[in-house]
Amino acid sequence: MTGESLAEMLRAGLARELDGAVRLRHELHADAEPSGSEHRTAARVAAALGAGDASPVAGTGRIVRIGPQHGPAIAVRAELDALPILEQTGVPWASRTGAMHACGHDVHLAALVALGRAAGAAQLQAGLPAALLAVLQPREEAAPSGARDIVASGVLQAHQPHAVIAVHLQHQLPAGTVAAPAGTVNASSDDFEIRVQGTGGHAGYPQLAADPVLALCQTVLALQQIVSRRTDPTHAAVVSIGTLEAGQAPNVIPPAAVARGTLRALDSSDRAGLHRALHEIVQHTCLAHGCRGSVTMDEGEPALVNDEALTTASWPWLREAGFAVDTSFRSCGSDDFSYYARSAPTLMLFLGTGGPVSLHHPEFLPPDDTVGQVASAMLAGYLGARSLLSPA
């Protein structure tokens, strides 16, 4: 079967599946489940793929093989989990659970179901040249990483995937555009906690205390020098503080203060240096204020790298599907999809939604037609990967 005839058959199958996929999207959105608790979501999506009896992997995940049971396989990932956000969209199918698909995972899942069902029909009609592995991944939004655990389980490798594909919505790109850059596209991400130990006391007698709040505030400001003065200005890096905790009363200098944040690097060679700089700045800034500072680092996902051959192979299929292809977009967002590179070449495609509402916002609600767009982008990734196995 030629690549064009395969594409034509799968596109026709997708068209037949889209109405059902949109209904599924609404069901998943209304019944969103947080990371690690995606039991109903996984069961519903697996059943829609005709694999209700699929064995769990990495807790609540599933892997469904569609097509030939032996030979080459191409994996396509979609995420099961929602965020702990109270939805503010006002649509009839808004989440009823207190969690929200505010990152587009409901769209990704529905699109993968449409593609999987189209692939199943193509297998019955003419046979697929390469199996489709639908990877239903838990815990993309929270530790421990679902992608890391799926790879560590060995279940994915047992299918010997030749590529792993994913598509993610991206509000920074205009609608109708798919970003498909080769190389590093997302940053590594490490969380850290800074703990400052001082000497507590009466707020009216600061000379008798060692104020950890002052030391921590100065430390937070000094950490910004990591990016501006300790990192190559042509390399992207981020140091952000998300929480500050100290004290319980306005007239008491507390004995300790804590900050938590994230450290990100687009260039993997910068990661160790960023860690060293953070430890040095915390230690010495706190000492200058008579306090002791310590850092606990929780190393997260590595940088996400798109395989060059796989990426460029997707471009003709993306353009044929009607997308404008952006080959330069990169961001300091992170995604545990990066762990799949330990199993096979990876390709992350970013599909533009446009508009003023960002990912992770309580009003983020891409239109239903993005289900078909994501499915088409997933298909382009599958066809590109298949062309590397057996060029048309």
pLDDT tens-digit map of 102-137: 999 999 999 999 999 999 999 999 999 999 999 999
In the predicted structure, residue 177 carries a pLDDT above the cut 90: yes
Residue 180 lies in domain? 3-185+303-389
pLDDT in tens, 279-307: 999 999 999 999 999 999 999 999 999 99
pLDDT at 59: 97
Average pLDDT over residues 9-23: 97
Q: Is the dihedral of CA 377, 379, 380, 381 positive or negative?
A: positive
Last residue within a domain, chosen from 277, 299, 321: 299
* Separation between Cα atoms, residue 350 and residue 203, nearest integer Å: 52
Tokens of 224: 């910004």
Residue 285 burial class via C-beta count within 10 angstroms: exposed 0-12, middle 13-18, buried 19 and up: buried
Judgement on whether residues 83 and 24 belong to the same structural domain of the protein: yes
Judged against a pLDDT cut of 90, whether residue 236 lies above it is answered with: yes
Residues 123, 265 within the same domain? no
CB atoms within 10 A of CB 67: 21
- Spatial contact of 316 and 329, defined as CB atoms under 8 Å apart: no
Q: Is the same domain home to 344 and 310?
A: yes
Whether cis (ω within 30° of 0) applies to the bond prior to 144 is yes
pLDDT at residue 2 greater than cutoff 90: no
pLDDT at residue 329, as a whole number: 97
Distances in whole angstroms, Cα of residue 68 to Cα of each of 60, 159, 160, 240, 340? 25, 11, 13, 47, 22
Q: Residue 263 gets which letter from DSSP? A: E
For residue 239, report the phi and psi dihedrals to the nearest 5 degrees.
Answer: -125, 115
95 and 124 belong to one structural domain: yes
Instruction: Verify that 221 and 282 share a domain, yes or no.
Output: yes
Q: Residue 392: is its pLDDT beyond 60?
A: no
The 8-class DSSP code of residue 159 comes to T
Residue 141 identity: E
Residue recorded with tokens 């990426």 = 311
Determine contact, residues 257/244, Cβ cutoff 8 Å.
yes
Q: What CA–CA distance (Å, rounded) separates 61 from 182? A: 28
Q: Are residues 218 and 97 in the same domain?
A: no
Do 51 and 91 belong together in one domain? yes
CA 120/CA 51 separation, integer angstroms: 11
The answer for residues whose C-beta is within 8 angstroms of residue 189's C-beta and 6 or more apart is 262, 263, 264, 300, 301, 334
Give the mean pLDDT of the chain. 96
The two structure tokens encoding residue 290: 């008579």
Q: Is 119 helix (H, G, I), strand (E, B) or coil?
A: helix
CB atoms inside a 10 Å sphere around CB 249: 8
Q: Show which of 276, 299, 322 is a domain's final residue.
A: 299
Name the DSSP letter for residue 176.
T
Confidence of residue 391 (pLDDT cuts 50, 70, 90): low
pTM of the model: 0.93
Cβ count within 10 A of residue 242? 9
Picking from 299, 321, 337, the residue at the C-terminal end of a domain is 299
Q: Which amino acid is at 123?
A: Q
Check residue 339 and report its DSSP letter: G
Are 40 and 170 contained in the same domain? yes
Residue 226 is encoded by which pair of tokens?
Answer: 């990591």
Same domain, 211 and 347: no
Residues 321 and 261 in one domain: no
Interatomic CA distance for residues 172 and 118, integer angstroms: 30
- Cβ contact 292:196 at 8 Å: yes
Each residue's pLDDT tens digit, 339-384: 999 999 999 999 999 989 999 999 999 999 999 999 999 999 999 9
Number of domains in the chain: 2
Lowest model confidence (mean pLDDT) among 273-277, 307-311, 388-392: 388-392
